[in-house]
Amino acid sequence: MMETVERFDQTEGYGHSLRNKYQVFEKLRATYGGDYARGQQKYSSGQHRIRFQLEPIGGDKEANIILVGVISANVTATDQYFNKTPSTYAWETSSHDWEDKTTIVENGQHKKVPKDKWAGAETGDILELIIDCDQQLIRIKNETRKTGDTMKVDLNNCPLPWKFIVIFSMYPDRAGSRLKLRPTVTRVTNSLGQTHHESKSDQGTFETRGRSSDSNGAFMVIDNSPDEELHHVIDGVYIGSQDAASNLPGLNECKITHILNVATGIENVFPDRYNYLNIELLDVPETNISKVFAQTNQFIEQALADNGCVLVHCNAGVSRSSSIVLAYLIGTRRMSYDDAYQLVKRARPNIRPNDGFVRQLKEYAAEK
């Protein structure tokens, strides 16, 4: 799961500004209505965690309305009523003299919910939003109040990619208030298992520490060229990227009959031509990849027993697919981790299982 530091590309509402398109909102005058900010990041696959705190600056103590959720990146809110805009999925807390309620928002439709389901949020609470594109849901956790909730997102109403949204409202008795997302240092794990830390400085600048030179701002491998080659590991077993899985001439040349897809968000290109096994795995050290070794080993072994050939692929062909092939060599061919790694490395030089996968593979080898 990726931990994300958000910045904002759109703000709407009455009388506020967003400093440097980052984490501070300012009420410039007393008005009646909501204020809104939408994140810059687009979420189309995988799981992402955004942790933040709504913190008052100055004399005001709380917001009247706090809403947190997602909206389709294809939708633009243009006024204070954005929280009623179709494609909005969120949780809203309202605290007024005349009402005190918690609400879920599904496709812009509000539904009051009991506080034993979602206790809501107040200024000062630390919140965590999980955006799970693969499962088509969002989760919210209030760390301060020890409550949380899960909401399913209908892709027909809120198509991917999604964006993070925050709304808050200060009413006239709170004129001149400010509210900000309190910056926290977050650890980001990229698709190669590398980690770095992101934060906002006291001066309001965006800082990154410990990022490897071979990754870019989107936390992906810097290589835009097609990677269509199928790399031969042993008789009948090939490894590659998602591009290789769509390379029909290459699949035919290698006589592929089975495809093992452990990518995230990649559909099978030729479902009528090949036997597929799909297991979506996140390429982060925390993923328990060892739990699928028995299933993937059996799939590869059965393909070979049927005189077939199997391609194992993930997104980049670097970490997940190589780990699955290594597990097969260790579990079925009784190779040591080092021997198996050298064999796969010779077949595809750019393999690099993340640190968590390496640890699990070595533990797996020790059990054999």
Residue partners of 48: CB distance under 8 A and separation at least 6:
1, 2, 3, 4, 41, 130, 131, 132, 133
Please identify which residue in the block is written with the tokens 């990726």.
2
- Tell me, yes or no, if 314 is annotated catalytic: yes
Torsion angle (degrees, nearest 10) of CA 83, 84, 89, 90: 40
Closest CA to 36 of 105, 99, 100, 101: 105
Cα(275)–Cα(14) distance, rounded to whole angstroms? Answer: 56
Longest CA span, the chain: 77
* Bridge partners, residue 165, by sequence: 38, 69
C-alpha dist (Å) from residue 338 to 82, 231, 277, 322, 358: 56, 19, 27, 13, 11
Neighbours of 15 (CB within 10 A): 14
- Please give the full DSSP string across 21-69, using - where no structure is assigned: GSSEEEE-S--SS-EEEEES--B-SSEEEEEEEEEEESS----SEEEEE
Q: H or E stretch including 260?
A: strand 258-261
Residue partners of 359: CB distance under 8 A and separation at least 6:
285
Q: 211-222 burial, b if ≥16 CB within 10 A, otherwise e?
A: beeebeeebebe
List 133, 158, 254, 314, catalytic entry: 314
Residue partners of 58: CB distance under 8 A and separation at least 6:
176, 177, 178
Q: H or E stretch including 339?
A: helix 337-347
Q: Could you say which DSSP state residue 316 is in?
A: S
AA identity, residue 172? P
The pairing of beta strand 126-132 with beta strand 109-113: unpaired
Contact 124, 104 (CB under 8 A): no
Q: What positions carry a catalytic annotation?
A: 314
